[in-house]
Amino acid sequence: MGNRHGSALGERLVHESDVQKVESNYDKSQFKILVVDDECEIVDILHRILTNEGYTCQVCTEPQTAREWVSQKQFDLVLTDIQMPNMSGLKFADTIRRKDSQTQLAFMSGNKDIATLTTALNLEPVGFITKPFSQEKVHELVQRAFSHYCTALEKERLQKQLTSQLSATAKEMEFRSERLAAEQTLIHGIINNANFGMIATDTTGAVHLMNPLVSQMLGMPKIVDQSYVGLPLAQVVPPKIIDTLSRLMQEVLEDKALQEVDCIDGPNDTMLNIIAYPAFYARKISAIVFVVHDITEKKILQKQILQASKLASIGELAAGVAHEINNPLGFVMSNCNSLVEYLDAYKSYISALEENILSENCEQKNDTAKQQALNLRKELDIEYITEDASSLLEETLSGLKRMSKIVADLKTFAHADRVSPERAQVNTLLEDSLNLVKNQTKYNLEIVKEFSELPEITCFPNQLVQVFTNLFVNASHAVEDKGTLTIKTSASERAVTVSITDTGKGIPEKHLSKIFDPFFTTKEPGKGTGMGLSISHSIIEKHGGTIIVTSEVGFGTTFDIILPIQGLSDHSENKE
Amino acid sequence: MQDYTILLVDDEPNIIRSLKRLFRSERVNILTAENGLEALQIVKNRDIQVLLTDNIMPEMTGIELMMKVRDCSPDTVRIILSGHSDIDAVLEAVNNGEAFRFMLKPWNDMDLKATVSLALAHYKLVADNKRMLADLKEKEALLDAFSKEYPDEYKNLIERTGSGTIVSV
């Protein structure tokens, strides 16, 4: 209890000190007091007391005169006697009260009868002092009146301040809300006219925002008003896509990070790329934003580019293969012609021999026949032919074998797309690739193989061969005169790494970021399509792997290819 | 034709051997080389009428070889027999190597034989031409000397033929 009392006292003290503080802001000389009493001694005493205290004090012994003064001038406090000749103090006070409520009234009287007191109190005086009064009492009364005056002024001042502050705030609010509205219009404009679809939901999946394009992309009825706001996602989007969106949302909430997926959930099986990302407010996810792109055309284009590049690389390869085939074809054909000539020679030789043997007089002309045969044998070069025929056939067969090998290599290359993923050994694929480009690399590249034992990986072997051959041919181009191509393989628990390093001229830093871009080439026109590395990149990505390039101008380039052992899921490939 | 020598250059021994078979029945000498340097060595030491060379070979391409042969043995008729049919190589062979022909692998035996015969004929023509030109020069010098020593007879001679051309004296 005591405690409570103490605190109440404390409050009061604070309050009083506040009042004092307020009063100290106001000048006592500005506090105008009118003292009215018919007794000259009293007005004199009061005038002296009040002036001494610093107030501005006017005195009057005539209520009539005082009334005139009051009508002309504003007083803050009128201290009047009640019993006066000519006019009662109460009546005088009443006229003042009627005039305004600001002037404070105070009475002094020797009379203490109830009726007078009641009438006086109805006029709401600030004080009532009885005669004879002490200086202390007057002081208290005027002090109280001054305090009221100060409080009133302070209140007025604060009110003014408040009003102006309020109006400033109102203006600021108006300005801000205008700006907000403009911003909102702008943002809505941006979202509604964006070339991507967009839906924003809160973390429970209630839709907040949606642009018209997304409704078109997802095959929803046209948005007419904001009626979708607050509805659960499942009620807004078509059922076909809800699973995908829900899964993305779940992942975003779990990972607190962007999630992306390509799917064929659009109307008419259009392909959509959907990115979902969290919007943060005060470090918490406040919304999930889905950005939707229709990538059907892009995918078709990519496929076309892939096909075109395949044709282009086949073309490049064909030039190399042509040489490789034309050589054996040349000598095989020529050898066959020679063989025909050899056979002709044999035929004439044999028929001549037969003629001699079967003729009737062979015994008699034995010597002549023998001589003839020998002559013919020399003329037809039978000895040489006999000796050469076997090596001719041997060489011809080796040529045919070479050609059939090249054709077999080409066939695997050509059927790259029609096969399903297989288990293959990367080292073998590298060897195959080296064989395929042997013609292009054999003159300027010394091949160093540092193969480790590797597990089989699930992959499209032919596509990887395409990547490797491409890198080998590039290396051969990069090494202008002579150089080394080092091929290293290694395996970890989950991945196989292939490092292909050449000692070529290297790639300038400004080109490094672009080399995987489609159609980017530094080769002279006709030599490169600019597609090779772009395709290689997409193939490695398709295998769930990574391809990293490091290069130093003048020293060479290394491509590191990391392929996950179980990288290729059958699921993703069947769609392609 | 036994006086003529053909030099075959190819890094593929099977090609060389099949070409040797092809020209077996022709009465020409056949020399072979597996690369440009070897070929150049032969050209410098022997009289070669026709050079039949592959283009893409290690160390030195056929076109480079042709350019060097043109410098050290300009009369040798040069033929390319290439498995690569790219237009740049053909242009280079014609412009820089002054090739007589650019043949493609696989070749047609008859065509190749005919081309080599043509090359030999070409060589002969050029050689004859050269020889006759030298002959002519020699005779012109003789005539010159004659005209200086016997101006009157020379004048007579010119008048009698009615023209300024004298083929032989």
Which of A331, A390, A398, A445 is most worth mutating to test chain B (most B CB atoms within 10 A of its CB)? Answer: A331
Identify the pLDDT of residue A499: 94
Identify the pLDDT of residue A525: 46
Chain B residues whose C-beta is within 8 A of a chain A C-beta are: 12, 14-15, 17-19, 21-22, 24-25, 56, 58, 81, 83-86, 104-107, 109, 112
Identify the pLDDT of residue A411: 64
Residue A121 burial class via C-beta count within 10 angstroms: exposed 0-12, middle 13-18, buried 19 and up: exposed
Contact yes or no for B109 and A332 at CB 8 A: no
Q: What is the pTM assigned to this prediction?
A: 0.47
pLDDT bucket at A6, cuts 50 / 70 / 90: very low
Compute the average pLDDT of residues A493-520: 83
Indicate the pairing of strand B29-33 with strand A272-281: unpaired
Q: Which two tokens stand for residue A142?
A: 């005027």
Q: How far is A325 from chain B (nearest CA, A)?
A: 8
* Cα radius of gyration rounded to whole Å, chain A: 56
Distance of alpha carbon A426 from alpha carbon A501, whole angstroms: 16
**Residue, of A255 and A369, whose pLDDT is higher:** A255
B105: nearest CB among A329, A391, A395: A329
Contact yes or no for A333 and B84 at CB 8 A: no
pLDDT bucket at A103, cuts 50 / 70 / 90: confident
Contact yes or no for B109 and A323 at CB 8 A: no
CA angle A113, A114, A116 (to 5 degrees): 75
Whose CA is closest to A499, among A443, A430, A423?
A: A430
* Cα radius of gyration rounded to whole Å, chain B: 22
**Residue, of A406 and A467, whose pLDDT is higher:** A467
**Residue, of B151 and A18, whose pLDDT is higher:** B151
Identify the pLDDT of residue A21: 65
Q: In this predicted model, what pLDDT tens digit does every residue of B3-61 receive, in sequence order?
A: 899 999 998 899 999 999 999 888 899 999 999 999 999 999 999 999 999 988 878 99
Q: In this predicted model, what pLDDT tens digit does every residue of A154-213 receive, in sequence order?
A: 888 889 999 999 999 999 999 999 999 999 889 888 888 888 899 999 989 899 888 888
pLDDT bucket at A5, cuts 50 / 70 / 90: very low
Look at residue A529 and tell me whether its pLDDT is greater than 80. Answer: no
**Residue, of A377 and A410, whose pLDDT is higher:** A377
- As separate numbers, helices (DSSP H) first and strands (DSSP E) second, chain B gives 6, 5
Residue A389 forms contact with B (CB below 8 Å)? no
For domain B5-127, the CATH architecture is 3-Layer(aba) Sandwich (3.40)
Listed ranges A171-185, A312-326, A434-448; the one with the highest mean pLDDT:
A171-185
Look at residue A315 and tell me whether its pLDDT is greater than 80. Answer: no
Look at residue B166 and tell me whether its pLDDT is greater than 70. Answer: no
Identify the pLDDT of residue B164: 55
Of the listed ranges A139-153, A268-282, A524-538, B126-140, the one predicted with least confidence? A524-538
Identify the pLDDT of residue A3: 45
Query: How much of chain A exceeds pLDDT 70, in percent?
Result: 86
Look at residue A417 and tell me whether its pLDDT is greater than 70. Answer: no
Determine the longest span between alpha carbons in chain A, in angstroms. 202
Distance of alpha carbon A250 from alpha carbon A232, whole angstroms: 15
**Residue, of A399 and A567, whose pLDDT is higher:** A399
Identify the pLDDT of residue A574: 40
Distance of alpha carbon A276 from alpha carbon A214, whole angstroms: 14
Distance of alpha carbon A269 from alpha carbon A264, whole angstroms: 5
Whose CA is closest to A319, among A534, A531, A532, A528?
A: A528
Q: Are B67 and B40 in contact (CB under 8 A)?
A: no
Phi, psi of A78 (to 5 degrees): -115, 115
Compute the average pLDDT of residues B63-76: 92
Q: How far is B74 from chain A (nearest CA, A)?
A: 28
A330: nearest CB among B21, B86, B107: B107
Residue A167 forms contact with B (CB below 8 Å)? no
pLDDT bucket at B122, cuts 50 / 70 / 90: very high
Residue A411 contacts by C-beta under 8 Å, 6 or more apart in sequence? none
State the residue for tokens 């001038």.
Answer: A73
Distance of alpha carbon A485 from alpha carbon A472, whole angstroms: 8
Determine the longest span between alpha carbons in chain B, in angstroms. 70
Q: In this predicted model, what pLDDT tens digit does every residue of A456-486 receive, in sequence order?
A: 898 888 889 889 988 998 898 888 788 999 9
Q: In this predicted model, what pLDDT tens digit does every residue of A37-67 receive, in sequence order?
A: 888 888 898 899 889 988 999 998 888 888 8
Report chain A's mean pLDDT, rounded to a whole number. 82
Report H helices in A277-421.
296-358, 366-379, 382-414
Spell out which residues of chain A touch residue B84, defining contact as CB-CB under 8 Å.
319, 322-323, 326
CB atoms within 10 A of CB B96: 13
Identify the pLDDT of residue A4: 43
